[in-house]
């Protein structure tokens, strides 16, 4: 595996494990702030990995495997934080993907200068509420 991609994967898994919140609500909020800060601090590293992937220097299967490894850790953490299943979506395979897709979408907008990190931090309470509403969805 590409060493830079491996570093991103390891950092992500560590951040999920190090988020010591004991509720979904607290975890999601901290996850958002951590995501904004990590992407801000590691923009060049992330861009390098994406560039390597786009150029074919990182195999699609390897990239997908790293992404799945990261979301699997997130999914497991979310499930453990919701034993009473107040957030049904975290108990389905799509739960972590919903959270990640929102974060990644906002980060792309940061990368393209639509939002600054300050903007993302300011919007975090609203994004958190939106995500908690989504994770509380029970219907398929």
The per-residue pLDDT for 1 is 77
Phi-psi label, residue 4: left if phi above 0, alpha if psi -120 to 50, beta otherwise: alpha
| Residue segments in the chain with a per-residue pLDDT below the cut of 70 | 139-140
Token reading at 30: 């901290």
The count of residues in the chain is: 140
**pTM over cut 0.85:** yes
The per-residue pLDDT for 55 is 95
The per-residue pLDDT for 2 is 87
Please provide residue 78's backbone torsions phi and psi, each rounded to the nearest 5 degrees.
-60, -45
The per-residue pLDDT for 140 is 63
């Amino acid at each position: 595996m590409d060493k830079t991609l491996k570093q991103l994967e390891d950092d992500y898994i560590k951040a999920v494990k190090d988020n010591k919140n004991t509720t979904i609500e607290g975890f999601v909020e901290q996850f958002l702030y951590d995501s904004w800060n990590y992407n801000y601090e590691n923009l060049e590293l992330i861009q390098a990995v994406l560039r390597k992937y786009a150029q074919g220097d990182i195999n699609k299967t390897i990239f997908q495997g790293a992404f799945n490894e990261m979301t699997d850790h997130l999914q497991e953490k979310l499930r453990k934080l919701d034993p009473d299943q107040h957030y049904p979506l975290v108990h389905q395979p799509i739960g972590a993907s919903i959270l990640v897709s929102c974060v990644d979408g906002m980060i792309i907008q940061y990368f393209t200068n639509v939002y600054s990190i300050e903007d993302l931090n300011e919007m975090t309470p609203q994004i958190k509420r939106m995500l908690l509403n989504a994770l509380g969805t029970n219907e398929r």
